[in-house]
Structure 1
């Protein structure tokens, strides 16, 4: 996502548009989690604290006039696209308001395509699209899903066959990652190695490991300081979605669908009511402020020797406040 700095008039229009979506233009009362989410979006994504109340609950008639910048228009539609999922129902009436706003603003975005599939209950199609894009940008180093990348998926799902497993070990890649354990203990490379070791995750090159490209996901954890607990994974997805243009709405909408709405889209945990709006949208904002997109040609190996604190400074990662650290620790979401 991109950082925007709306002026007072633009902020008022975006806030009214958010209320229009969440209430289906006045037809439905806001849930507490929706009200908290709109307030958190104002604080962290619109830089408005204290939050303001809307002038009405219909889409502003002058929305397209007030929001005249293409980047602000796109980011507004992305914000609006998250709101119908928060009530856990993905109601057609709310999605229609998002579609109306997008049409007025002349925006077509991946988030709209995902939302259309979700409101129709087309979760298999949604999952297939998410998987295709994830394999291309997370698993593959080329940005396109190759046959080799799909074969890697089959490898991970295979039962343990000792002789075959030895054949599947990529010894040179494994040695490269194991070598990170010899880096200085304050380095980013050592932090990655320790992340794998402390959690018992297979290191790239091992038979049951994810492809090396998936190490970008682990790098997000290390850089953002969000743990691999359920709440930590939700916040890491929020940080990642905020950081990247490549899979922005895939990451944000998938985690809201699967961790808030309780809709099983992809394999893995499926929960309801996991969203903590202030922490979630703060994580999105931290990812947005991070100046290097880890999914856009970033190479982990160019920075493995940098001290981790220095890497965060270079990338302009907003530090966690003592209060945030305390909350994250209490919720088992702070990286140990």
Structure 2
């Protein structure tokens, strides 16, 4: 998912439309404002006074906003912005729907926003999860491990059983030389008290790319780091990348528990904290330079004995930019 810079006229229209959405309920809230400011700095390269921008209607926006890719990017931006400060109101979602419709962008994520705004949280979660990267993880787990292996991975994730033989394969990484990818990940797990696959609460193997991205990208497990690692992954994910970014935004900025685990931790408004919105956009751009989609059945076993720096070089994982 690459971030496209629009021409100056479209940039102004888009920013006006983002403000229109963000001010539907009154004053612009911190997360939405931070995203608009970050978009000006990181994508649009403009310096408009957000409070002075006039609103824009759907017809005017559609007339001056060219290109399907740019339109899709703008709709994605509206989705993120509408979740930046909590679950959006019905009025906010209606404005998102109006603008997306005028731009000719039909996307099921807006339906999930509508369900959330209407209080149908369980339906919204189920619909979102069945379309996004969590579905991809479980699909890949089933294809790679078969029905029995899939069932065992779900039961271990839920803490019902354990697979000692599988866990031992991962614990063997503790014997790898320091600085290698496998040793780095097992050290990361031990540092944070995480379970490896096969241990109770261990995540299915098809989803380990998330933890590898923490390691390879240098992102923390704090809410700000989780927003970045999801954005980094969205950058290189080939199919439906917005889901992986929205998933993290829902948990850490909208306060909605979306995980298929028992972890209750959520936060509200992380994107409104200074610099986080800029770090999110920088992570997307950084991820877009990676030359392999780690979410698509990546065989990390072929890489675990390599030095981490060599892995980064081969994958074209660039240093984190200063923002």
TM-score (norm. length: structure 1): 0.79
Partner of 2:295: 295
After superposition, give the CA deviation of every residue in 1:150-194 in whole Å (9 maximum; x if it has no partner). Answer: 5532333245xxxx64xx32x2x4444334334442332322222
Unaligned runs of 5+ in 2: none
Moved more, 216-225 or 83-92: 83-92
**What is the distance in 1 between the residues matched to 2:124 and 2:14?**
28
Q: Does the 8 Å contact 1:136/1:143 carry over to 2?
A: no
Select which of 269, 272, 280 maps to 2:265: 269
The aligned counterpart of 1:228 is: 221
Aligned-pair distance for 1:263? Answer: 3.5
Where do residues 1-336 of structure 1 align in structure 2 (5 Å cutoff)?
1-24=1-24, 28-44=26-42, 46-48=43-45, 50=47, 53=50, 55-59=53-57, 61-132=59-130, 133-141=132-140, 148=148, 149=150, 152-159=153-160, 165=162, 168-169=163-164, 171=165, 173-246=166-239, 248-266=241-259, 267=262, 268-275=264-271, 276=273, 278-290=275-287, 291=290, 292-321=292-321
Q: Do the aligned partners of 2:100 and 2:106 also contact (CA within 8 Å) in 1?
A: yes
Return closer, same or farther for 1:16/1:150 CA change in 2, 3 Å cut-off.
Answer: farther
Contact kept in structure 2, 1:289 and 1:316, CA below 8 Å: no
Q: After superposing the two structures, state which structure 1 stretch, 31-40 or 75-84, moved more.
A: 31-40
* C-alpha RMSD over aligned residues: 3.0
- In structure 2, distance between residues paired with 1:208 and 1:77: 36
Distance 1:279 1:309, change over 3 A: farther
**1:98 Cα deviation from its structure 2 partner:** 1.1
Higher mean C-alpha deviation, range 193-202 or range 150-159: 150-159
Instruction: Indicate conservation of the 8 Å contact 1:286/1:317, yes or no.
Output: no
The answer to whether the 8 Å contact 2:252/2:270 transfers is yes
Q: What's the secondary structure of 2:41's corresponding residue?
A: helix
Deviation digits for residues 100-124 of structure 1, max 9, x if unmatched?
Answer: 1211121122432321222122211
Contact 1:37 1:278 in 2 (8 A): no
| Post-superposition CA distance 1:304-331 (Å, at most 9, x none) | 344323333443434235x67xxxxxxx
Give CA deviations for 1:66-89 in whole Å, capped at 9, x if unaligned: 332221111111001122222325
Q: Relative to 1, partners in 2 of residues 1:99 and 1:196: Cα closer, same or farther, differing over 3 Å?
A: same
For residues 151 and 142 of structure 2, the distance between their equivalents in structure 1, rounded to whole angstroms, comes to 13
Shift of 1:128: 2.0
Closer, same or farther: CA 189–263 of 1 in aligned 2, 3 Å: closer
TM-score (norm 2): 0.82
The Cα offsets for residues 217-261 of structure 1, whole Å up to 9 and x where unpaired, read as 111111221122343333323333344354533333333333223
Query: Cα gap change, 1:320/1:199 in structure 2, threshold over 3 Å: closer, same or farther?
Result: same
Higher RCO (CA-CA < 8 Å; seq separation 6+): 2
Runs of 4+ in 1 over 6 A off after TM superposition: 143-146
Equivalenced residue count is: 312
CA distance in 1, matches of 2:183, 2:15: 44
In structure 2, distance between residues paired with 1:142 and 1:205 = 13
Q: Secondary structure at 1:115's aligned position in 2? A: helix
